[in-house]
Structures are given as C-alpha cells and as structure tokens.
Amino acid sequence: MSKSANAAVAQQYEKWVYPFPIQDLSTPEVRAKWDGGDYERNWLTFFPNKEFRNDIDVLVAGCGSNAAARYAFNHPPARVTGIDLSATSLAHENFLKEKHGLNNLSLHQMRIEEVASLGKTFDFIDCSGVLHHLPDPVAGLRALGSVLKPEGTIAIMVYGQYGRTGVYMLQEMFRLMGLGQSEEDVAMVKQTLAALPKSHAVQGYVERSRDTKYDAGLVDSFLHRQDRAYTVQQCVDFAKDAGLSFMHWWDNILYYPEGQLNMDHPFYRKVNTMPDSDIWQFMELYNGTLGQHGFCVCRPDRPESGYRADFSGDAFMNYIPVSRCREVPRRTDRPGVIGVKREPHPVYNLDEASAKLFRQIDGKKTIRECFAASELTGDAVEQCRAAFRHLWRLSYIFVKLP
C-alpha cells in the first residue's frame, strides 16, 4: 500500500488537530473524565485472568494530540510509545511530555501499517478512533497484531454504522456542495447544521457528540476524507480477517438486553434464547444510536479460558466478582430489593436474592463463596447464574477468571 493512500488523512490532522488539545494533564477534571482506554480502571476487561501490573509496554496507535501523554502521565511505571501520522498532533504530545517531564514516553511520526519497524512488542495497544480512517483497516489491524505480545490485548474503538446514519447523509450533502476543509467550509457546516429540520437523522448525533462542539471535531465528523463505520458483526469479522480473536465488548450494557429491555416482557425472554452474537446484533438494531463500538482483540494463540466469561456451565462459580457500581437508596415496597448504579447509566433494581449476593462482593471471594456467605438456600448455581450474569451483562461487575 502506498504512503499517498494516507496523505489526505495526514493533511487533515496536520491542520485540524484532534482531539481538542489538553493543556494540563494534572487537573482533576482531565483526570476524572478518562475511562475508556485506561488499562488500570479497566484491567479486568483487558486482562481478566491477571493481577494488575503497571510496568507494562503500551502502544498508543494513532495517538492524536493527547492520548499517549495521558497514559504516560497516569502510569509512570509504564513504558509508553505514541505513533501518529500528524506532526502537529505529535508536537502537542511532545509539549505535554516536556511540561510534565514524561521520561516514560517515546513519540514517533509513522504509519500504523509500519509499526513493526519500531522493533518493539507491547502488552497493551490502544487504537481508538483510528482504524476506520485507514485505506485498508484490516492491514492496519494485522500490523498491530504483529507487535502484540502473546498475552497482550488490543483495545479498539471504531465508528458504529447505525448511530452515524445522519453523519454520512451530511458528509454526502457537503460533498455535493463541493466543500473541502477550509475555515469557510467549516463555517458553512455550522450554518447548515443550524438550518436543518429538527427531525433530521443527524440531530441526535449533534446533541450527543462532543465533536460537534468545536471546529476540528466538525471537520472530523462531517468533512472527513476517509472514514467508514462498522456493525457489530463487522467488528467480529474485522478481528478475524486480521488473524486475531475477538475477546469482548468494553461495555456489555450496550450489547445485552438486561439494561435496555423490560425483563418481564416476552420479548426479553425471546431475545435471551438467541446465541450471543445474534443478541449483540439484535441489541444494536434495537438501540439504533450506537455511533461507536469499543471492543478488545488478542492473538489467536492466547487461551480463550483466560478471557472469555462463560455463564453457561458451572465453572463460573469459581470466578471472583469485582464491583463497578454502588448501592443506592431505593424506595420500593418489595422486600429486600436494592438499587445499583454506575455512572452514567441508570439505577437498576436487584431482587432480594441478587441483593444478598451483591452485598457479598468484596473482590476476593469467588461466586461460590459469595453464595455460602449469603445464607441463601436452594439451588446455588441457578441463583448465582441469574444474579451474576445479570450484573456482568449490565457491566456493573467485572469478573476475575481463575
């Protein structure tokens, strides 16, 4: 593949630095807002069968203006490498490196497709919002797989197709108008957005997305020269086509019915009889607004038992649940029911048995031990399956695998 295939994308990110450059990584607001790819907060998503370690090799592939410095700042023992096409973005990463004295950060202007030339391998690769801009995304992901350590994880975010329907309509409109990426063109985008019918398919995206609030974000959304989007099945196939294994989604709540359908409805029971991959597709179509998909992939030789949570047999009784949510006061006349909440999601009710099990979660006890300590009686496996699978599908717990 020629370098010129990336040239239009490089030119865009040279001029329209993305995302909005952070000036100081130490402020509480900047620190609080970071979750998606933070391997410490999400360790059990990326490495469900390993104890947390901070001294790992991290690659931030297509790091943009902030992400590599952010990893290096938040994880001093980690060795962080940032690569990007855009010299302007790397200059800002370098500004942050110098400002915060980040000796654990190295930066390189290069294409993802050439990453093997660094001669390094990585435990964790963050590639967020990048692969959908490559001329050949599969070749890019394959290149990342070639520098992944055997037990490593790649965390990927790509655009979701249905939530961006309106974005692609506008991209087409602006193409017909002959817009490029100049300041005047961005002004025209703003005027057009202000004049669109309130019922237009893009309005939900305009409201939800941070990218519609500043110029480089508007260019990224509506005047991009190269982007594509994926359905959930295409994400799974994408991993396979690059010779890698699809592990799971970052946030199960978006892909399972528990957080979105009424569980007393026959509709819910019907969806729940489907295989997992059909449930994900169904929920994507039901939700209708997913504009991004976050998921992780690994090498095919990494043993599946080390990352795949499976609630179908009874081996899950040896998993260790770790809470990601908090109990909140709940006004209900049903005895023993409690509410649980994880930001930014709603409060969900747990019935009496699930509440008793939830209260035993301490990050040390296995599910079997939680049941024994709960003083519940009856079928341990069925009660635990119902409670812990439910919490895991909500992403309100992690599970530590043996």
Q: Which residues bind ligand SAM (CB under 6 A)?
A: 6, 9, 13, 18-19, 62-64, 66-67, 83-86, 89, 111-112, 128-130, 133-134, 220
Q: In this structure, what DSSP letter does residue 21 have?
A: P
> Which candidate, 376, 360, 331, 364, places its Cα nearest to that of 391?
360
Between 82 and 257, name the residue whose CB sits nearer to ligand SAM: 82
Between 62 and 259, name the residue whose CB sits nearer to ligand SAM: 62
| Angle of CA points 23, 215, 172, to nearest 5° | 145
CB of 56 to ligand SAM, least distance (A): 18
Between 86 and 395, name the residue whose CB sits nearer to ligand SAM: 86
Q: Which two tokens stand for residue 339?
A: 């509410």
CA distances to 97, 112, 129, 274, 346 from 86, in Å: 16, 12, 14, 44, 39
Give the residue at shortest CB distance from ligand SAM: 64
| Cβ-based neighbours of 53, under 8 Å, separated by 6 or more | none
CA distances to 20, 67, 70, 243, 342 from 30, in Å: 12, 12, 9, 36, 19
Q: Is 256 helix (H, G, I), strand (E, B) or coil?
A: coil
CB of 217 to ligand SAM, least distance (A): 9
The amino acid present at 9, given as its one-letter code, is V
What count of Cα atoms within 13 Å lies in the side-chain half-sphere of residue 301? 6
CB of 308 to ligand SAM, least distance (A): 27
CB of 151 to ligand SAM, least distance (A): 23
CB of 83 to ligand SAM, least distance (A): 6
CB of 114 to ligand SAM, least distance (A): 8
Between 83 and 254, name the residue whose CB sits nearer to ligand SAM: 83
Between 96 and 134, name the residue whose CB sits nearer to ligand SAM: 134
Between 64 and 152, name the residue whose CB sits nearer to ligand SAM: 64
Give the pairing of strands 122-128 and 57-61.
Answer: parallel
